[in-house]
Amino acid sequence: EVIRLPGADGGDGTLDVLRDAFPNRRELRVQDALGREIDAAFALNADGTVALIESAQSCGLARLPEVDRNPAVTHTYGVGQLILAALDAGVREIAIGLGGSATSDGGTGMARALGARFFDESGAEIHPAGETLVKVRKCDLSGIDSRIAQTKFRALCDVMTPMLGPEGASRKFVAQKGGTTRTMYKLEEGLAMLHLAVTEAGGRGNGLEPGTGAAGGLGFGLYSMFGAELEPGADTVLELIGFRDLLDGVDLVLTGEGSYDHQTEDGKLIAALAEDCKSNGVPLVVLAGEVAADVNIDGVTAAFGISPYGARRQDSLNEGKSNLQKHAAYVARLMANRS
């Protein structure tokens, strides 16, 4: 018997994976990470009291063609529009999946959509995004929608990295969002300036809390300005889809990952799967496009790279499905021979 169970960690696909828990979908037009109008959606639970928002629906990297990916200019305004729509729906709690973003604006775009204002050293109001965060000297949170304070926020973080510091959002993720080394340092400086302005205005935190770096600092914006709880998204998703209840009597868990590397260790879905599988004595095998040699996640029995040695990246992507099927068959035969 094979049980197929889609998973997510707060990033792309979270809305679809949790369709049973949040069956009522609402569609609307919002801004993407470059301010262009796109279709997006959020979902409500059965009684309409809790909303689920996937931030990647609006500011996701996958929403942008590769040529447009640049964290120096992208923003999270569309996430704020999704939150506003959820508030208008009358919910008491909002869970926001963080991951797969094209942004590194510390949540300023989201906050602006809900009434926050940001100012430069001359006192002029600015709309900071990416590199222009370095201009922020002051912020005013008094105009934030009053319903925010009456609503519980949960940030489902795909990674539990901090916003600032050597392991912070800019240093770890800017390159994969299309940024250069120069951009990385500029964004890091800007996020630090944002932290100073927000805390001076009454926001909480120091930017070093685990999860504040998720989605380019969107975790910080939610935590500091909206009072959100930061939690590993993978743990929450696995709980909601009933993964742990299915482990009793299971012979093997087989899962996949684009790149099995050090980011995988930091709150990603596989790290959560590994912890649960180890606790239940179930072997876990990972099939990945790439496997870093120096990664060893406790609870992962084996990790196999499915791309042929020396293959070009685009060729590996084009042949991804067939390579995945082939290696899954290898694992299945090993299990059959063992029994």
Q: Pick the residue with more confidence: 60 or 174?
A: 60
Supply the pLDDT for residue 267. Answer: 64
pLDDT of residue 172: 86
Average pLDDT value for the chain? 93
Q: Please list the helix, strand and coil fractions of the chain in percent, rounded to the nearest 5, in that order.
A: 40, 20, 40
Angle at 88 between CA 84 and CA 91, to 5 degrees: 100
Give the mean pLDDT of 188-197. Answer: 97
Rounded to whole angstroms, what are the CA distances from 308 to 70, 260, 285, 311?
A: 30, 15, 18, 6
Phi, psi of 293, rounded to the nearest 5 degrees: -70, -25
Q: How far is CA 59 from CA 94, 222, 284, 302, in A?
A: 18, 15, 32, 34
Q: In DSSP terms, which residues pair with 244 in a beta bridge?
A: none
Question: What pLDDT is recorded for position 114?
Answer: 98
Give me Rg for the CA atoms of the chain: 20
pLDDT exceeds 70 at position 291:
yes
Mean local confidence (pLDDT), 144-162: 96
Nearby residues of 235 by Cβ (< 8 Å), 6 or more positions away: 272
Q: Which of 27, 56, 53, 22 is nearest to 40 (CA)?
A: 27
Residue 257 near residue 271 (C-beta atoms within 8 A): no
Confidence of residue 229 (pLDDT cuts 50, 70, 90): very high
CA distances from 153 to 30, 87, 174, 195, 224 (A): 20, 11, 26, 20, 11
Question: What is the percentage of the chain residues whose pLDDT exceeds 70?
Answer: 99
Confidence of residue 263 (pLDDT cuts 50, 70, 90): confident
- Ordered by where they begin, the domains of the chain are 14-234 (3.90.1510.10), 249-338 (3.40.50.10350)
Residues paired with residue 176 on neighbouring β-strands, in sequence order = none
Q: Which residues contact 155 (CB under 8 A, 6 or more apart)?
A: 96, 98, 211, 214, 218, 219, 222, 223, 228, 229, 230, 231
| Residue-level pLDDT at 339 | 58
